Structure 1
């Protein structure tokens, strides 16, 4: 991302590559959320035990991954 940038290289050496760490953590959380949402997204429209049958059920919820808006500009 910041090739040939001595300031960025020095910051990474001093503080670690925070953007990469955050990206990896966000991807891990996203995978966990997808895994947790699988039962809801796989068409689990069967009524819960004990509820009357024949009643219309709502379609499974859907969600869409979207990027976060850019943060405030750094000074």
Structure 2
């Protein structure tokens, strides 16, 4: 995409391929994080997850899951 643009080639010649360097660092950090902090496995039903995330409306109070009662 940008590789064909003359200004891009000039910037790479002057400064190095910064986007590629950043991408490489981001991938390395992601691998390190997965090693020390494996992804969590969540088994909550999608409906309950939506209720807790407030997907049912933009109210100030958190949504209650189906069947929950206020005390």
Instruction: Return the TM-score normalized by structure 2.
Output: 0.51
Aligned pair count reads 41
Match of 2:28, SS state, is helix
More helix by share: 2
Q: Are 1:26 and 2:33 matched, yes or no?
A: no
Matched with 1:17 is 17
Structure 1 unmatched runs, 5+: 43-75
* 1:1-75 mapped onto 2 (5 Å cutoff): 1-38=1-38, 41=40
**Larger-gyration structure (1/2):** 2
Q: Which runs of 4+ in 1 moved over 4 A?
A: none
Higher relative contact order (CA 8 A, sep 6+): 1
Structure 2 unmatched runs, 5+: 42-71
